[in-house]
Each structure stands twice: as C-alpha cells, then as structure tokens.
C-alpha cells in the first residue's frame, strides 16, 4: 500500500515492532527497505523510495532486539517525507524519502 498522506501513515501500526532487517541495495532507484515483526509474529515491510539523509544510531550492546516505541512521519510542502523510527533506550533510524510503501507479508 502506497502511503500518500500523514493521516494514512498514522493508521499503520508503529509501536511494538521488532526490527528484523535493513536493506539498501545498490540500485537505480535508491530504495531502502526496513522489515519488522509485529506483536502477532507477522512480518511487515516499509519501502522508502529515493532515500536521503539516512542516519542509523542504535546501541544494541545490552539488548537482543530493537523494538519501536513510535515511528514519526512528517511530509513537507514539496512532498518529501521525514521519518524517524524511535527505539527507546537504544536509539533511532531517521531518513528522508520521496515515497513510502507499506506491506504486510
């Protein structure tokens, strides 16, 4: 499902998601995929198109997994998304992108 508005993004479950993988293959469209597992043991995937300003700051020394507290999303006037995955006590992942797709696997 393509996410077009902040309201539609707010309908996506954003807390208690366990980070499973981050994939940023070298390809023409510069897409980043973040895969998580929800509390029902189902996998979900966020595909961020044309990613820039990626910052990953996670300290996993004392925990076995990273679980989200929230995912914040803002879209500016020219349609660029700002996304922050918040992992309490261990850090964050932030990025900017042109489009977002959400999939339940």
Does residue 62 register a pLDDT over 90? no
Q: Which of 17, 13, 12 is nearest to 65 (CA)?
A: 17
CA angle 56, 37, 101 (to 5 degrees): 70
The rounded percent of the chain whose pLDDT value lies above 70 is 98
The mean pLDDT of the chain is: 93
**CA pair distance 27, 67, nearest whole angstrom:** 28
- Against a cut of 0.95, is the pTM above it? no
- Which two structure tokens, joined as six digits, stand for 14? 């954003």
Model pLDDT for residues 18-27, shown as the tens digit of each residue: 999 999 887 7
Name 7's Cβ contacts closer than 8 Å, sequence gap at least 6.
Answer: none
């Amino acid at each position: 499902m393509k996410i077009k508005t902040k309201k539609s993004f707010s309908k996506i479950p954003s807390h208690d998601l366990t980070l499973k993988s981050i994939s940023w293959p070298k390809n023409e469209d510069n897409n980043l995929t973040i895969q998580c597992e929800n509390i029902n043991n189902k996998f979900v995937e966020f595909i961020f198109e044309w990613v820039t300003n990626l910052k990953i700051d996670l300290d996993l020394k004392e925990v076995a997994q990273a679980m989200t507290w929230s995912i914040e999303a803002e879209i500016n006037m020219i349609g660029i998304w700002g996304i922050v995955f918040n992992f309490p006590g261990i850090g964050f992942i932030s990025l900017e992108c042109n489009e977002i797709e959400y999939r339940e696997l």
